[in-house]
Amino acid sequence: MRSPVSPAPEVRYGDRGSAVVEFVLVSVLLSALFLAVVQLGVALHVRNTLTAAAAEGARYAANADRSPADGVVRTREVIRSSLSTRFGSDVRGSYTDVAGHRAVVVEVRATLPLVGFAGPPHSLVVRGHALDEERAS
């Protein structure tokens, strides 16, 4: 039994509230990691979509009675329907030589989305190639 003059037991506050602080710190790190993964997914989606659009435009331009200008128009249509018109603002088409055969090249220069859909201009360049049907034989 305690004597009436003994001091009150000492109260320790050492770990009180640390769970909240740890939760906030871990939540910030996990949120940043999640956003980085989402941003990587957006960048890969844009790159893959632009590559597919350039290849589609090159195949379209390589058809008989078509020109690289037709491929550029087709590429812009695919980009507009898939992403946004701003990604299809710089599309070029031309002829090239591949192993002695004439081929069509469609090149798309666009912004690589680093933060949301914003990023440095013309930092992403993709090309699509197709053998020209008129001159293939």
Residue type, 118: A
Domain that holds residue 91: 18-131
In a domain, 24, yes or no: yes
Please tell me whether the overall predicted TM-score, pTM, comes out greater than 0.75 for this model.
Answer: yes
* Residue 5 resides in a domain: no
Residue 127 lies in a domain: yes
At 92 the pLDDT is: 95
Q: How many domains does the chain have?
A: 1
**Residue type at 92?**
R
| Residue 82 included in any domain | yes
| The pLDDT value given to residue 13 | 67
Kindly tell me the burial class for residue 88, based on how many C-beta atoms sit within 10 Å of its own C-beta (0-12, 13-18, 19 or more).
buried
pLDDT for 133 equals 83
User: Is residue 106 in some structural domain?
Assistant: yes
All residue ranges of the chain with pLDDT < 70 are 1-14, 135-137
Assess if residue 88 is contained within a domain. Answer: yes
In a domain, 92, yes or no: yes
- Does residue 74 form part of some domain? yes
pLDDT at 63: 92
Residues 6+ apart with CB under 8 A from 124: 46, 47, 50, 109, 110, 111, 112
Q: What is residue 118's predicted lDDT score, i.e. its pLDDT?
A: 78
